[in-house]
Amino acid sequence: MFSLMANCCSWLKRWQEPVRKVTLIMVGLDNAGKTATVRGIQGESPEDVAPTVGFSKIDLKQGRFEVTIFDLGGGKRIRNIWRNYYAESYGVIFVVDSSDIARMEETKQAMIEVLNSPKISGKPVLVLANKQDREGALSEADVIESLSLEKLVNEHKCLCQIEPCSAIMGCGKKIDKSIKKGLYWLLHIIAKDFDALNERIQRDTTEQKAYEEQKKLERAERVRRIREERGSRTSDLLLPFKALYHQQPTMLPIRD
């Protein structure tokens, strides 16, 4: 009876907890399996995925968490955009192609760059050692060694968990359990120290937004000036054609 009451109490306590909005970023080299992982989590087929050269996101509910995962392109020519998402992320999911031994050094460099950022240091990192279904894939221990993971996460005070997995194994309820386990771990760590983490993220994002807003205004002003200059130029040169310019658009059929 007593335990039943205790159960009820803890349930009530959990029920009273506010919904927490958490943003995670999923990064890693191109072809590591980020989009496949995200699609698996979402319950979609993780096969036949085109390379992401940009940004997509998924939303999911996990207990009292509303989780948003940003899936960011990993190719060499797009990787530089990652830094724009650091401020708002509560944690990092780093996906590694464990079977691509030739690119381990590049993976390591990419990871160093992420953890080196002051906006990321101290935040929890989940490493998914993906493609374990492939022959010759490095084991958990070997991935740790080739990335010097231990040293790296200690240096930057990031709590870290590594999960060997296979993103293409299934989706939705049939998703590789290691991916789920990893995600639980990450959310658990975030929950443990939520208030401090949340405060840091609010501060960093406010700062970044103010900066972006400022840039946006400056840019709008520059573009306005360019347009104005060009407008006055064309009005002199193309005076005889001006009537034409104004007529032509009216010929466009308007959809209703």
Does residue 85 touch other proteins according to CB under 8 A? yes
**Biggest CA pair distance of the chain:** 93
- Is 131 annotated to bind ligand? yes
Contact 148, 108 (CB under 8 A): yes
- In this chain, which of 81, 101, 210, 237 binds other proteins, going by CB under 8 A? 81
Among 80, 102, 195, 243, interactor with other proteins by CB under 8 A: 80
Interface with other proteins includes 223 (CB under 8 A)?
A: yes
The 10 Å Cβ neighbour count of residue 181 is 14
Residue 240, interface with other proteins (CB under 8 A)?
A: no
Type of residue at 129: A
Radius of gyration of the chain (CA): 24
The answer to whether 29 is a known ligand-binding residue is yes
CB atoms inside a 10 Å sphere around CB 140: 16
The two three-digit tokens of residue 121, written as one number: 């240091």
Residues 30 and 81: beta-carbon distance below 8 Å: no
Q: Write the interaction track for other proteins spanning residues 150-169; mark x where CB under 8 A is met and - where it is not.
A: --------------------
What x-and-dash track marks residues 50-69 binding other proteins by CB under 8 A? x-xxxxxx------------
Rounded distance between C-alpha atoms, residue 92 and residue 112, angstroms: 13
Q: Is 91 annotated as a binding residue?
A: no
Q: Where does this chain bind other proteins (CB under 8 A)?
A: 35, 48-50, 52-57, 73, 75, 77-81, 84-85, 212, 216, 219-220, 222-223, 226-227, 230-231, 245-246, 248-249, 251-252, 254-255
